């Protein structure tokens, strides 16, 4: 056993006397683990050439020695290297969960004289569009780290020789996703493929990326094309697997996926290992720094120098220039244009119009969801306080139609599919006008609610009417639209709109580059505090618990909102797994229940249920989507928000109004609603930090410490009560219509 840089390890398999023969050689051993101290990656350097290994492999006996149980995290590792002639030095580095590489071993080596000479690594110039943007994002993530160190990591990741594995007989299979690039949706990696065994039966498949958290894969789905190639498989055609695996993507850093198959005999085998570069399809994404030619050139020069230190040339000058132009075009398209932050505008004076405002409002649907509900409350206030006449457009029918109509608004459902399938702007405009025939003489203002209602801004512009676009989203435009024409049309809506309103400065910042004329406004979101207080006075928690079948003695931890990947309920379930057993041991008379309200019958719900079943959690409950949100907020002891992306989530303000303790992710506009003084804030996707914060919130609750909840309630009263916030929105609507 050896020890270096705080790591215990042993390299049990290596060439005698560190003299390498011609060709590939294996290294293998173990690296100690404890708590949050374990290897998430491993690489072996032969002089200046990196080879990636496979850490985190089960090693019975050694895993139990360090953890007192079987892993994960696992202690075993293997690596394969092919030293070149005259190589002198071997170094082993491990990467910890914080993303830091540490050297743990080095030794002089000799190599057979007839080994091939060192190969020249391929030039990196062709990859500049992706690598330069990754370097720029890393620079924004860790501004204190030098350009040289950051560029070295990006270049090493790009040039390292990976060690990927495929099933060996009697296993047969293929990993179809991820390959070189892996799509991540809200810190979840999509995994698909097929796997079979010649004789035995596969009991379960598990996958792991971060070295610590395993995720079950659904295995045994029908796959008709396999049986025609591999006859006699024990599973027949039921060999397909699908699933999602926890991952926290880091720009430019390859991640390692490992899939293990467990047979009915109890044997556990590594069947797939795949390096991939994460591609964020949805969820938190590290933004680029503001657009700057100087910063771009600095990044290019640093990356070029790092590649040279690893023996990689730049390649032909013409190809390098062409690649740099593509990289600059992407940087210019995706980066903010400046660092300046516009001051929040002074509230518009609340003026009365000579005649009631006639509003045409567009919603993306009529479901009981956050955005349509906000629109309804906004329009109902305009009608109640200023006598506004409202006509609502929606591309989809839904149950909220009755609510709008009961409040005296008219509703029209329009078919936008031809416009949304348009291949260019001319076709889009023509199809849009045909889909929405209107008498514009009765319209003073168009209100488009959410980014995906951008089409209403185009209608207003064509009719020469003022428009007010409300943006509730907190993700770049390219995330929302499948085609480039739609993306461009949505982008143009920002310049066509008379005013663009946000309820979070963080959301506005994402779209800053689309506001050259400073027409963006940030106004507070709102809730009906009087209605919440009336509900609380009329409904006791004990009565509501009896009504919904909740244990009156339990502490209820509530996750309220549509159950979907963006809301991160898989992290909530992981938190329940981490905290549930511990709580039962410490508080046998006070059970802890984890309740998710907003369940849907879809693939994500199925995956969550499997996650619960695999972990054997009897403290987790799913409740379908409901209009009884106040019931659950009133009976809950703690509200937990695990979202990866939010602008101004209403549920946090409602919890604050009910004086319910809040544990939430610190993303987008959330810290503009509640700070660490009013809630417990954690980074998204980290179940351990979430469990620690929840533990602290429960401790405060048990101790009778209501400091945070009272502060949160005061914030709602001062800033977000509709009696304070909505007059500002009405004033903005009047001012926009009068332009």
Asked if residue 648 is part of any domain, the answer here is yes
Note whether 489 and 540 are same-domain residues: no
pLDDT of residue 339: 36
Give residue 685's pLDDT band: very low, low, confident or very high (50, 70, 90). Answer: confident
Alpha helix ranges (H) inside 316-356: 317-334
Asked if residue 585 is part of any domain, the answer here is yes
State which of 75, 93, 119 marks the end of a domain.
119
Note whether 629 and 660 are same-domain residues: yes
Percent of the chain with pLDDT over 90: 57
Number of domains present in the structure of the chain = 4
Note whether 625 and 507 are same-domain residues: no
State which of 475, 494, 519 marks the end of a domain.
519
The CATH number of the domain holding residue 425 is 3.40.50.2000
State which of 282, 317, 345 marks the end of a domain.
282
The answer on pLDDT for 519 being more than 50 is yes
pLDDT in tens, 526-568: 999 999 999 999 999 999 999 999 999 999 999 998 888 888 8
pLDDT in tens, 423-433: 888 999 999 99
Give residue 353's pLDDT band: very low, low, confident or very high (50, 70, 90). Answer: low
- The average pLDDT across 256-274 equals 91
pLDDT of residue 149: 93
Asked if residue 297 is part of any domain, the answer here is no
Note whether 380 and 460 are same-domain residues: yes
CB 685 within 8 A of CB 571: yes
Percent of the chain with pLDDT over 70: 94
pLDDT of residue 98: 81
pLDDT of residue 349: 45
Note whether 564 and 696 are same-domain residues: yes
Note whether 437 and 479 are same-domain residues: yes
Rounded to the nearest integer, the mean pLDDT of the chain is: 88
Note whether 255 and 273 are same-domain residues: yes
The CATH number of the domain holding residue 261 is 2.60.40.10
- The average pLDDT across 470-499 equals 84
- Single out the residue of 384, 407, 142, 105 nearest to residue 392, CA to CA: 407
Asked if residue 217 is part of any domain, the answer here is yes
Domain carrying residue 710 = 529-720
Asked if residue 459 is part of any domain, the answer here is yes
The answer on pLDDT for 299 being more than 80 is yes
Alpha helix ranges (H) inside 598-646: 603-615, 629-635
The answer on pLDDT for 282 being more than 80 is no
Note whether 379 and 428 are same-domain residues: yes
Asked if residue 238 is part of any domain, the answer here is yes
pTM given for the model:
0.71
Compute the distance between CA of residue 384 and CA of residue 641 in angstroms, rounded to an integer.
33
pLDDT in tens, 230-256: 666 666 677 888 888 888 777 778 889
Note whether 20 and 109 are same-domain residues: yes
Note whether 659 and 633 are same-domain residues: yes
Note whether 597 and 697 are same-domain residues: yes
Map residue 28 onto helix, strand or coil. strand
């Amino acid at each position: 056993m050896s020890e270096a840089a705080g790591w215990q390890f042993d390299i049990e398999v290596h060439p005698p006397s560190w003299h390498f023969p011609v060709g590939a050689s294996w290294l293998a051993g173990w690296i100690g683990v404890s708590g949050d101290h374990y290897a998430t990656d491993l690489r072996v350097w032969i002089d200046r050439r990196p080879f990636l290994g496979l850490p985190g492999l089960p090693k019975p006996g050694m895993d139990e020695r360090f953890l007192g149980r079987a892993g994960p995290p696992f202690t075993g590792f293997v690596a394969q290297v092919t030293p070149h002639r005259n190589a002198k030095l071997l170094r082993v580095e491990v990467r910890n969960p914080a993303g830091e590489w540490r050297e743990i071993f080095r030794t002089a080596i000799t190599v057979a004289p007839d080994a091939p000479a060192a190969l020249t690594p391929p030039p990196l110039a062709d990859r500049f569009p992706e690598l330069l943007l990754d370097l720029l994002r890393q620079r924004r993530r860790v501004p204190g780290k030098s350009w040289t160190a950051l560029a070295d990591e990006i270049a090493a990741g790009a040039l390292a020789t990976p060690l990927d594995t495929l099933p060996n007989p009697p296993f047969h299979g293929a990993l179809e996703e991820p390959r070189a690039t892996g799509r991540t949706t809200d810190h979840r990696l999509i995994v698909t493929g097929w796997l079979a065994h010649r004789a035995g039966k596969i009991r379960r498949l598990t996958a792991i990326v971060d070295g610590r958290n395993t995720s079950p894969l659904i295995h045994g789905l029908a796959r008709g094309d396999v049986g025609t190639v591999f006859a006699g498989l024990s599973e027949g055609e039921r060999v397909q697997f699908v699933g999602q695996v926890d991952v926290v993507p880091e720009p430019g850093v390859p991640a390692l996926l490992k899939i293990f198959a467990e047979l009915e005999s109890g044997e556990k085998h590594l069947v797939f290992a795949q390096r991939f570069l994460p591609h964020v399809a949805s969820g938190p994404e590290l933004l680029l720094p503001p657009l700057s030619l100087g910063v771009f050139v600095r990044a290019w020069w640093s990356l070029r120098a790092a590649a040279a230190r690893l023996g990689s040339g730049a390649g032909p000058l013409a190809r390098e220039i062409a690649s740099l132009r593509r990289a600059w075009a992407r940087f210019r398209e995706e980066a903010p244009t400046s660092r300046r932050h516009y001051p929040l505008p002074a509230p518009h004076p609340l003026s009365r119009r000579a005649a009631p405002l006639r509003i045409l409002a567009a919603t993306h649907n009529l479901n009981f969801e956050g955005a349509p509900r906000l629109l309804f409350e906004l329009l109902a206030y305009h009608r109640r306080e200023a006598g506004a006449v409202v006509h609502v457009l929606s591309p989809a029918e839904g149950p909220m139609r009755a609510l709008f109509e009961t409040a005296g608004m008219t509703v029209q459902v329009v078919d936008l599919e031809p416009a949304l399938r348009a291949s260019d702007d001319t076709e889009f405009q023509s199809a849009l006008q045909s889909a929405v025939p209107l008498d514009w003489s009765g319209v003073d203002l168009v209100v488009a609610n959410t980014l995906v209602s951008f089409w209403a801004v185009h209608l207003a512009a064509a009719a020469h009417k003022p428009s007010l676009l409300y943006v509730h989203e907190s993700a770049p435009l390219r995330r929302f639209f499948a085609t480039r024409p739609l993306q461009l049309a949505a982008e143009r809506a920002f310049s066509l709109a008379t005013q663009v309103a946000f309820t979070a400065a963080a959301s506005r910042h994402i779209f800053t580059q689309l506001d050259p004329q400073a027409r963006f406004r940030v106004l507070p979101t709102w809730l009906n505090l009087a209605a919440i207080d009336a509900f609380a006075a009329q409904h006791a928690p004990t009565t509501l618990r009896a009504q919904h079948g909740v244990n009156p003695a339990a502490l209820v931890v509530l996750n309220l909102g549509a159950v979907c990947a963006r809301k991160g309920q898989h992290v909530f379930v992981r938190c329940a797994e981490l905290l549930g057993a511990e709580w039962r041991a410490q508080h046998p008379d006070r059970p802890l229940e984890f309740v998710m309200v907003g369940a849907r019958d879809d693939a994500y719900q199925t995956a969550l249920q499997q996650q619960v079943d695999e972990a054997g959690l009897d403290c987790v409950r799913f409740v379908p989507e409901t209009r009884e949100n106040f019931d659950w907020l009133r009976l809950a002891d703690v509200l937990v928000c695990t979202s990866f992306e939010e602008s101004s989530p209403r549920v946090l303000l409602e919890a604050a109004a009910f004086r319910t303790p809040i544990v939430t992710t610190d993303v987008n506009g959330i810290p503009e609603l509640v700070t660490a003084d009013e809630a417990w804030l954690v980074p998204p996707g980290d179940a351990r930090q979430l469990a620690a914060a929840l533990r602290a919130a429960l401790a405060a609750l048990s101790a009778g410490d209501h400091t945070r909840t009272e502060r949160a309630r005061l914030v709602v009263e001062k800033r977000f009560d509709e009696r304070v916030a909505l007059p500002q929105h009405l004033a903005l609507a009047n001012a926009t219509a009068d332009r």
